Structure 1
């Protein structure tokens, strides 16, 4: 029988690195604190793969073909540009606004920003539990991953 516990996870996106907890029921091996972080990480991964592909011979040739097709579809410019100063528009700068605000609440009444919650809770469902772990339970439930067979 397994004791119910929370898994402590660090968000896998380097820009975020937020700590969050997942209970055993909600834990599905998540690497990101929320859906938005997962979407952003996926977009960065796709961009990195595109950059790697562009450095290969096939990628350079595909890019050259795509650019040639684009230049073929582009309309030819037949008119001259307007004379300088014909369409000049000036926009006055916006007035600077004060960005600092003083809190009306005295500092002694506010809890410190670094104070941990009394009992950790699952980020997904909100179930509280005092026990934390740093690994998944997948290995213990599935048994040994690699089996050795006699030669």
Structure 2
């Protein structure tokens, strides 16, 4: 029977700890698509704020506002009751007595600090290296 190695990862957005096996590991930093998309939107919003503080950003904003005023578009405001409540937006409860399993494929395994190096992808030694 093959031993499955799991790595504990802390979600960068919600702080939830999740486990991932070596075969599913691709450098994940977020526990789900919701956290990943929300974090990307926050980073984009901050980048837009930095841009709008520059001279070029202020000029672009002025021109966009002129275009909006010329079109005479009316803004509609959504009321707060129409926004769906997302349960995952709150910090999840910790379950200390659960069996650690991969968050993506569900395989149960042994938790390790770091995955061991695999045999492929080794660098060439000096004897095997040929220069052109």
| TM surpasses 0.5 | yes
Q: TM-score, normalised by structure 1?
A: 0.58
User: What is the correspondence of 1:34-73 to structure 2 with a 5 Å cutoff?
Assistant: 34-73=32-71
- Show the counterpart of 2:11: 11
User: What is the correspondence of 1:137-148 to structure 2 with a 5 Å cutoff?
Assistant: 142=121
Please say which structure displays the higher CA radius of gyration: 1
CA–CA separation in structure 1 for the residues paired with 2:119 and 2:59:
49
1:132 is displaced (CA, Å) by 2.2
Greater fraction helix? 2
- Show the counterpart of 1:80: none
1:47 is displaced (CA, Å) by 0.6
Q: TM-score, normalised by structure 2?
A: 0.66
CA–CA separation in structure 1 for the residues paired with 2:5 and 2:66:
59
Name which of 12, 25, 28 aligns with 2:26: 28
1:115 is displaced (CA, Å) by 3.1
Q: CA RMSD in A?
A: 2.5
Number of residue-to-residue matches in the alignment: 101
**8 Å contact from structure 2 (residues 5, 115) kept in 1:** no
